[in-house]
Chain A
Amino acid sequence: GAVVSQHPSWVICKSGTSVKIECRSLDFQATTMFWYRQFPKQSLMLMATSNEGSKATYEQGVEKDKFLINHASLTLSTLTVTSAHPEDSSFYICSAYRGGFGEQYFGPGTRLTVT
């Protein structure tokens, strides 16, 4: 159990367009989900904490208007990269927190390439 999926697994978009990435907890409910950004051979940078039914909490330096997060249900959080630029190209990873187990479960990641 405790599987987290992400869709799409990879996406290529043109500069100036918006892209939506979905994160789903398949077999448990997650009141809290997290979005990370990972650069090649580097660490995970926490972008924001997504709370079901309320606004996301963004980390310092992350533009909330550029990276829109919606946590509409206990099993789904979405990250929308608005007006994408080539520098937004990265690997985006989500995780879902399973409170009773005190553990985060990670999705497989989404590779975004902005041309």
Chain B
Amino acid sequence: AQRVTQPEKLLSVFKGAPVELKCNYSYSGSPELFWYVQYSRQRLQLLLRHISRESIKGFTADLNKGETSFHLKKPFAQEEDSAMYYCALSPPGSSNTGKLIFGQGTTLQVKP
């Protein structure tokens, strides 16, 4: 079954510390992977997607097909990074519909 797993419900770090939000997926094909972010009292928005290989707000994520992982990283966390982060998968064949399967989400808390 298609599944996205984010093992940590809460990740708390100090400002300036490195951050790694873990995401593992189970799917036999070649899905497209995304990270979405939800700041307090705001709607969900796309942070980055693996096919674009961008760095957004200092965050990067590398797709590791061998480990079926798509961990989100940032070398130096900022207080404004505090938010809920969701890893999501779009199964192959969903390119025309955009269907997404979300992980459980990880709350990132960056302390001053």
Contact = CB atoms under 8 A, between A and B. Distances in A.
A97 B107 contact: no
Interface residues of B, number: 20
Interface in B53-112: 86, 95-105, 107
B98 A97 contact: yes
A104 B100 contact: yes
Interface string A100-115: 0011101111000000
Contacts of A49: 97, 99
Given A106-B44, A106-B45, A107-B43, A46 B103 contact: no
A41 B107 contact: yes
A99 interface: yes
User: DSSP class of A's interface residues: helix, strand, loop or mixed?
Assistant: strand
User: DSSP class of B's interface residues: helix, strand, loop or mixed?
Assistant: loop
Contacts, number: 47
Contacts of A34: 98-100
Given A42-B105, A43-B104, A44-B86, A93 B99 contact: no
Contacts of B11: none
Contact of A46 (B44, B49, B99, B107): B99
Contacts of A104: 46, 98, 100
B100 A46 contact: yes
A32 interface: yes
A95 B98 CA distance: 10
Interface string A73-115: 0000000000000000000010101010011101111000000
28 contacts: A34-B99, A34-B100, A41-B9, A41-B107, A42-B104, A43-B86, A43-B104, A44-B86, A44-B102, A46-B99, A49-B97, A49-B99, A93-B44, A97-B97, A97-B98, A99-B98, A102-B95, A103-B46, A103-B49, A103-B98, A104-B46, A104-B98, A104-B100, A106-B43, A106-B44, A107-B43, A108-B43, A109-B43
Interface of A: 4, 32, 34, 41-44, 46, 49, 93, 95, 97, 99, 102-104, 106-109
